Structure 1
Amino acid sequence: MSYENPKSIQAVVLDWAGTVVDFGSFAPTQIFVEAFREFGVAISLEEARGPMGTGKWDHIRALCNEPQIANRYAERFGRRPTNDDVTAIYKRFMPLQIEKIAEHSGLIPGALDAVAVLRARGIKIGSCSGYPVCVMERVVALAKANGYVADHVVATDEVPNGRPGPAQALSNVIALGVDDVAACVKVDDTVPGVLEGRKAGMWTVALTCSGNALGLSYDAFRALPPDRLSAERVRIGASFAAARPHFLIDTIADLPGVIEAIEGRLAAGHMPQAC
């Protein structure tokens, strides 16, 4: 028995917010702002977007580690935020997130068509998110009502260590019966999500315009002048550079063409770990 490179893609592991639903990834970021506000600490939407892609407790911890936010917290409470403070903010964040998630549950334009093309090629659809189970249950139900159902879902609190570690992506490999990680593609709009795919040994696709990095609604994205959009693509591409995504595309609508390109690379003997 000898090893043979896979010749085709068996599964795609999709992120949720900013990838399949919630163009601009507004649901998690706005709730961070609201949760901190309830503790008397102001953070901006731009600050809230910084650690996007990690689990939500880790995201809040990262925000509290930012010197400017830690200083504001200290001005309010007379000390810098501890892990107990992070947990208190997280416990307020969760019900707010569940309450507000429906406001940003719309499917990203082109998502259903792209998924249909992949399924027609026999590709399974895995998924994972920085959301915990209690939020993912709501996200999955709303997506199903809009016509999208993944073959498998892994929330961040269903594995020992979430992004940027590979556990969620690899959980999809096991659940979907994929026999080679090189036959998988991880698609995400955040650096931790791309690193997740890289560390899992998968092909990786970074989304530049539908998610956290651009942070605009679909209408605002479509209204960008061509020169501004080009500049944003360059800026966002540079922000992903250290994570080394194999491909950069605007939105999931562009994914079927990338799958063809990846299968071309596989046919030529290329492997994601070596690219």
Structure 2
Amino acid sequence: MNAPLTSVLPLQAVIFDWAGTLVDYGSLAPTQIFVEAFASFGITVTLAQARGPMGLSKRDHIRSLLADPAIQQQWQQRFGAASADADIDAIYERFMPMQIAKVGQYSQPIPGAIDTLAWLRGQGLKIGSCSGYPRQVLDVLLPLARVQGIEPDHVVAGDDLAAGGRPGPWMALANVIALAVGDVGRCVKVDDTVPGILEGRNAGMWCVGLTLSGNEVGCTEQEVAAMPAEERSARRKQAAARLSAAGAHYVIDSVADLPAVLQQIAQRCRAEGHR
């Protein structure tokens, strides 16, 4: 049996988000389904509102949307009372089959993701992942992604852990345990959402935020390419500011740019004596 490859860099693992990070450029699959799920109850939710809590587990996402004053006002006008936990459950039960049915349409790898994962493996780094998607949704997404070349060493779903999801550190730390990583300070969390960056920081990891490919910009690759340069720059800058404010150590356009950043993190680790 071949011995495990020793990391070339002074790092041990990279923990990725899924939608907007490895697959689904623009993180479109979950956003549209939230809009449609609320619409089935007669509640209008805009795409911008639906994107606001992205990165949370889907049940927490629904809870957060119902806490939005404008959405809550609609709910009370329609149903004559404030929303309760039973209403969150009802929306979630409506959301789940819709998300399961649609997620496969958004399983395409983000350009550069396959090459980046191959590069990480060549460096001897372990590859973890976690998602706000429930396990039932990942059970559909993962085989489709695997066929296309996206297969981390470990995956944690948004409803796998009793402790909860983002912005808590638990999903990221579950990867650390499963991958037998000895130092969270030598792990890098890569995510396109504010809760995902907070998750990585709360877990004590280096954090890299993604702008153009992710939820903060929220456009397809074709839409981003067609944007006037000034608009694309402004959208990138706005996304970078939000991710940096959440604690991202570095911010890049997409996962394709990650190897260069990991080299910079490695240099800082060596300078600080973490080998």
Q: Report the TM-score, using the length of structure 1 for normalisation.
A: 0.94
CA contact (8 A) 1:7 1:267 kept: no
Alignment pair present for 1:210 and 2:226:
no
The residue that corresponds to 2:237 in the other structure is 234
Alignment pair present for 1:131 and 2:133:
yes
Give the CA deviation at 1:46.
Answer: 0.9
The residue that corresponds to 2:77 in the other structure is 75
Please show how residues 97-108 of structure 1 align to structure 2 within 5 Å.
97-108=99-110
The residue that corresponds to 1:3 in the other structure is none
CA contact (8 A) 2:103 2:141 kept: yes
Percent identity, aligned pairs only, is 53
Alignment pair present for 1:85 and 2:87:
yes
The residue that corresponds to 1:173 in the other structure is 176
Give the CA deviation at 1:104.
Answer: 1.0
Give the CA deviation at 1:7.
Answer: 6.3
Alignment pair present for 1:52 and 2:49:
no
The residue that corresponds to 2:24 in the other structure is 22
**CA distance in 2 between partners of 1:20 and 1:137 (Å):** 16
Q: Which AA in structure 2 matches 1:48? A: A
Alignment pair present for 1:120 and 2:113:
no
CA RMSD of aligned residues (A): 1.3
The residue that corresponds to 1:193 in the other structure is 196
Matched residue of 1:204: which SS? strand
**CA distance in 2 between partners of 1:83 and 1:100 (Å):** 26
List structure 1 runs of 4+ shifted beyond 2 angstroms.
Answer: none
**CA distance in 2 between partners of 1:262 and 1:208 (Å):** 19
Q: Which AA in structure 1 matches 2:214? A: G
Residue in structure 2 matching 1:264, options 255, 263, 267: 267
**CA distance in 1 between partners of 2:113 and 2:245 (Å):** 27
CA contact (8 A) 1:7 1:266 kept: no
Q: Which AA in structure 2 matches 1:11? A: A
Give the CA deviation at 1:270.
Answer: 6.7
Q: Which AA in structure 2 matches 1:190? A: T
Give CA-to-partner distance per residue, 1:190-232, whole Å, 9 cap, x none: 0000010001111000001111100000111112222222211
**CA distance in 1 between partners of 2:9 and 2:108 (Å):** 34
Q: Kindly tell me: are residues 7 and 25 of structure 1, through their superposed partners in 2, closer, same or farther at Cα, counting changes over 3 Å?
A: closer
Structure 1 unaligned runs (5+)? 1-5
Matched residue of 2:20: which SS? coil
Q: Report the TM-score, using the length of structure 2 for normalisation.
A: 0.94
